[in-house]
Structure 1
Amino acid sequence: MKFGISTFVTDEGIRPTTLATALEERGFDSLFLAEHSHIPVSRETPYPDGGELPRPYYRTLDPFVALSAAAAVTETLLLGTGVALVVQRDVIHTANEAASLDLISDGRFVFGVGVGWNREEMRNHGTDPRTRGALLNEQLQAIKAIWTSEQAEFHGEHVDFDPIYAWPKPVRTPHPPIYVGGESPAAIERLAAHGDGWLPRGHTEPEQIRSVLRSLAERGKSDVPVTIFAAGRDESRIEGWADVGVERVTFFLPTLPEAETLTALDELAALAGRHAG
């Protein structure tokens, strides 16, 4: 099993270049960065984990910018969005950003996507929270068309554009892998229809993963790679994930100053070393 890191990169924590170099030096294979464009002051939507919204949510760097900086100082590290809130983004710009990152990283980009949870944040982008799942499904189809067609077009209920030219194209063939975040029935349907890999969160039990993979195989979608997003340090759960065929675990890294971050990475690297292979 492989091991990476998932985190929030902010203006108050370790720089993305320093973080990426430290990860590669310690043998981690990937870096997945979260996204929030802003946090509305109203705060009507409750934080899914309960309590106050953690400070890093308010200060998150754009993941494509941060991952591009990380790409420039690394050679093997996979660079993932975890997750890109595509429903809050222009679909053509997002396709271009993702393809550009894949190009400058020599094909190391992993496109982790999700629908998000903060309804006020979505509304500020003109997105109706009630239809965000259907919107994302169409956006993923449109992005694939832009990545793989010389003249791309898409005509759906939520996404609609006539033929366009759009370069660069991604380095990966046929395109960067799309990892679908979430464990809900809608997320699993999205994975089956549009995804190349699954990005369940760190509270997901091994048996749930086994069940989902079995149901996907029964529908003709076998060998779906699984990366755990924002895992804790429970070693029995890590062993359980390995037993059900999880490919990668990304440990959640708190957003801290550089010295504290490097200490935390040393601890996580030791933990990963006990389960790697």
Structure 2
Amino acid sequence: MQLSLIVRGQHPPGDIAGHLRDDLELVTRAEGLGFDGIVKGSHYSAHPFQSVQQIPFLAYAAAIAPKLRLICGLVLLPLHKPLDLAEQLATLDIMSNGKLVFGCGIGYRDVEFKAFGVPRAGLGKRFEEGLEAVKRLWTEDFVTMKGSHFELVEATCTVKPVQQRMPPIWIGANADVAIRRAARLADCWYINPHNTLTTIERQMDLYKRALDEYKKPFPGEVPMRREVFVAPTRAEAIRRAQPYLEEKYKAYRAWGQDKVMPEGDDFDHGFDELLEDRFLLGSPAEVAEQMIRLNRRLGVNHIVASVHWPGMPNSLALDQLQILAEDVMPQVRRGL
């Protein structure tokens, strides 16, 4: 079982330079504790939060924590031109000596689509064209391709990734149609943190059937992101995490995240109902057992842990990293 840390990096308005220092401290602590990777997401116009952007953050992380994999989680692919993205990401792969993971998704926020001039109609096509173009730019010397929002004429990617043929590609997906797309186009489905495990179990069956249809093997890496908090007891874990998780999921509701999820998995619930079947909360032994069950039920072998939410003191997140590395993961690895 691999363990990575997502640095969501969303903070209340304030000292953004200080917030960035806190985020980078999480990166170096994760490397020191033996985590496998660092994940950074990407949103624009992220009111009410402050957050630095993904690619420059990961570039800095490569310099201060060179052992960690750099995981884009996720690039909002329809917002970008493929040649620019291919060169930016290839540069990250070079800077990290071949440790980049290209995680990508469609996105869901109207404010982002409108700001980038991207209509909602045709998002799936735009995503697939962009991904095909990035793959070709990484693996071919010259690319000629006409998409709905770009045209490449004998275009070349100035630098190629270190990893051959290319970095691993994860597709993040909530909806069934997107999970089939992940089976067809990606190395793996990056399982989201929002859907209930009951829904994800159904979707994993869908994913496996799609892999069979496309004559692809089940992937060797099955990553899943979850909200995680560990305390001496489950009751204490819930009590301490609740104020921060409630605020974050209020923002998700305001952003429309649950509108792109399967029916019945919305966030319009009290906290007790929201956490049920979603979050990894409890004592070290309880959280370890929850991770082991994810492996046995779904084949998950890479946990992307979210342990820091807006307004949480950084010291509390640092403590969570240590508890996960020293108290939880040894139990997980013994149990698998």
Tell whether the 8 Å contact from 2:225 to 2:306 is kept in structure 1 after alignment. Answer: yes
Q: Given residue 19 of structure 1, which amino acid in structure 2 is its aligned partner?
A: L
Deviations along 1:115-162, one digit per CA (max 9) or x if unpaired, are 111112111101112222211111000001111111122223343221
Determine if the alignment matches structure 1 residue 228 to structure 2 residue 224: yes
Matched residues, percent identical? 24
Q: Which runs of 5+ in 2 are unaligned?
A: 11-15, 228-278, 282-286
Aligned to 1:50: none
How many residue pairs get aligned? The number is 261
Q: Name which of 39, 60, 63 aligns with 1:69.
A: 60
Q: Given residue 58 of structure 2, which amino acid in structure 1 is its aligned partner?
A: L
Aligned to 1:268: 324
Aligned to 1:33: 40
Residue aligned with 1:130, SS: coil
Mapping of residues 111-260 of structure 1, within 5 Å: 111-202=102-193, 203-205=195-197, 207-208=201-202, 210-219=204-213, 220-224=215-219, 225-231=221-227, 232-234=279-281, 235=287, 236-243=289-296, 244-255=298-309, 256-260=312-316
Q: Write the distance in 1 (CA, Å) between the matches of 2:59 and 2:22.
A: 12
Q: Write the distance in 1 (CA, Å) between the matches of 2:196 and 2:88.
A: 30
Q: Write the distance in 1 (CA, Å) between the matches of 2:7 and 2:24.
A: 14
Residue aligned with 1:75, SS: coil
Q: TM-score, normalised by structure 1?
A: 0.86
Tell whether the 8 Å contact from 2:226 to 2:280 is kept in structure 1 after alignment. Answer: no
Task: Summarize the Cα distance change of 1:140–1:71 in structure 2 as closer, same or farther, 3 Å threshold.
Answer: same
**Larger relative CO (CA 8 A, sep 6+): 1 or 2?**
1
Q: Write the distance in 2 (CA, Å) between the matches of 1:250 and 1:70.
A: 17
Superposed CA RMSD? 2.1
Determine if the alignment matches structure 1 residue 21 to structure 2 residue 28: yes
State the structure with more CA Rg.
2
TM superposition shift of 1:204: 4.7
Q: Write the distance in 2 (CA, Å) between the matches of 1:161 and 1:214.
A: 34
Q: Write the distance in 2 (CA, Å) between the matches of 1:159 and 1:185.
A: 28
Residue aligned with 1:113, SS: strand
Deviations along 1:99-129, one digit per CA (max 9) or x if unpaired, are 0000110111111111111112111101112
Q: Which runs of 5+ in 1 are unaligned?
A: 41-54
Q: Write the distance in 2 (CA, Å) between the matches of 1:157 and 1:210.
A: 31
